[in-house]
Amino acid sequence: MIQDLAKRGHRVIALDLMGMGRSDKPTDKADYSLANHVDWMSQWLEAEGLSNITMYCQDWGGITGLNLLPFHGDRFARVIASNTGLPTGEGAGPAVDQWLAFVASVDALPISALIQGGTTRKLSAGELAAYNAPFPDGSYQASPLAFPFLIPVKPDNPGVPMCRDTWTYLATWTKPFLTVFGSEDQIAYKAGAHVRMQREIPGAANQHHVVIDGANHFIQEDASDRLVDIIDQFTKQDIN
């Protein structure tokens, strides 16, 4: 997606969340909170001095990225939310409950197997190895092991107030807001996260929201060409 968007003239920045990918990796799970992730991203955004941004956010990138908007909304021109959500303690469905129980039971996650499990197409050996590369063993996985419990699906989760405040802010968001979800995503699409966004965010009104048939949770792997087209066209939309 990055190289194809760049070929169409876009500047593309793909940000590793703290503790993921090639980023620094604090080893204490206690260092990771939703508030800390948003603060780390805020510091980065301010240091880069970026503006007129099109945010494309998926999964954990959504719960962190969307929570940036109340603090830095003027830097963003439009938002695309993809297979993500912003829960506020309403409770979790069976798929999320099973996922949390699994994460709590292990010291290291099978990273590439989890990616493949959320992808419709079969990934190559090289792709799977690339997903595993930043995490030689469980000692590198404090962030991915902690992050599932930062998502405020339970009412007593400390991230609930922040997400409620963000929903209050999103109720005033009139700039373009698009949802692009995969039909096979059990986490966000089946739970109807896109429906709430379309209903409660003014900028989502009259947008051509998309459900990509056959695409699973990791929609970038299943529908990268389609996403490039959608993002490219969306950036050409005028902002009233």
Cite the active site residues: 59, 185, 217
Q: Which helix (H) or strand (E) holds 58?
A: strand 53-58
**SS3 label, residue 216:** coil
Given CA atoms 181, 230, 46, 174 in this order, what sign does their dihedral have?
negative
Cβ contact 42:72 at 8 Å: yes
The count of other CB atoms within 10 Å of the CB of residue 82 is 29
Token pair in block for residue 34: 């939703």
The count of other CB atoms within 10 Å of the CB of residue 229 is 13
Q: Which helix (H) or strand (E) holds 54?
A: strand 53-58
* Sole residue written with tokens 């409620």: 164
Quick one: how far is CA 168 from the chain centroid?
19
Residues 155, 160, 163, CA angle at the centre, nearest 5°? 140
Enter the DSSP assignment of 28.
Answer: -
Token pair in block for residue 190: 């089946």
- Which residues make Cβ contacts (< 8 Å) with residue 19, sequence separation at least 6? 25, 26, 32, 142, 143, 144, 146, 147
